[in-house]
Amino acid sequence: MPSPHGPPELKHLDHVLVTALAIKRRIAGLGDQLNAEYASKDMMVVAIVNGALIFTADLLRSLRSPLRLDCLRASSYHAGTKATGEPRIVDQMKLDVRGQHVLLVDDILDTGKTLAAVACLIKTKGAASVKTCVLLDKKARRMVPFEADYVGFEIPNEFVVGYGLDFNERYRNLPCIGVLKPKYYAG
């Protein structure tokens, strides 16, 4: 039975930060930059799932290179909105990165720990180059010195959901980026 208080799945959201149209336009721009960068390189995209799933799927379709794709799973958020401890790589890649020009794709650059750790891992596995592309960048939260090579949007220090990003595993399917109501930040 429908809830009398509106769709229950949207009750945690405060407002929209980035619209679906803005994301679509920005991805076209990132695609142009990446097509120039990787025009003559053997390209491999490595997506950090689940968060990067939707961004990667849309970004890939703006790329012309006959690239290879692999995914890995890293985990530092166990529940709620607080990162706990160091990132763990909980599911390894299947493809060999040796000699490949790897583009690492993630949903959001926050403390920087995840991408710093994964980039380091891929370099030690023998990639020819490692660059990073994130949809969102929360610069104010950085704890390790790490900058992405390609950034969709710089955003303020708010907990965001949608377009792959979750709150307790929900909201990944939102087509836009929304801000969680501050009362849920404490997680």
**Contact call for residues 149 and 174 (beta carbons, < 8 A):** no
Q: What residues contact residue 17 under an 8 Å CB cut-off, 6+ apart?
A: 155, 158, 160, 176, 177, 178, 179
Interaction partner, residue 165 (ligand 5GP, Mg ion, none; CB < 5-8 Å by kind): ligand 5GP
Q: Which of 110, 137, 149, 166 is catalytic?
A: 110
Pairing of strands 129-137, 150-154: parallel
Return the closest-CA partner of residue 111 out of 66, 68, 157: 157
Helix (H, G, I), strand (E, B) or coil at 169: coil
- The stretch near ligand 5GP (CB under 6 A) out of 6-14, 31-39, 95-103, 109-117 is 109-117
Q: Considering the complex, state which of residue 65 and residue 105 has its C-beta at the smaller distance from Mg ion.
A: 105
For position 87 contacting ligand 5GP by CB under 6 A, the verdict is: yes
Binding site for Mg ion (CB under 5 A): 51
Pairwise CA distance, residues 34 & 59, whole Å: 10
Q: Which does 76 bind (CB under 5 to 8 A by kind): Mg ion, ligand 5GP, none?
A: ligand 5GP
- Phi and psi for 75 in degrees, rounded to 5? -140, 125
- Candidate ranges 5-13, 24-32, 58-66, 104-112; the one touching ligand 5GP (CB under 6 A): 104-112
Position 160 contacts ligand 5GP (CB under 6 A): yes
Question: Is residue 38 close enough to count as binding ligand 5GP by CB under 6 A?
Answer: no
CB atoms within 10 A of CB 53: 17
- Please pick, from the candidates 17, 103, 161, 177, the single residue that binds ligand 5GP as defined by CB under 6 A: 161
Q: Is 107 a catalytic residue?
A: no
List contacts with ligand 5GP (CB under 6 A): 51, 76-77, 83, 87, 106-114, 159-161, 165-167
What residues are annotated to the active site? Answer: 110
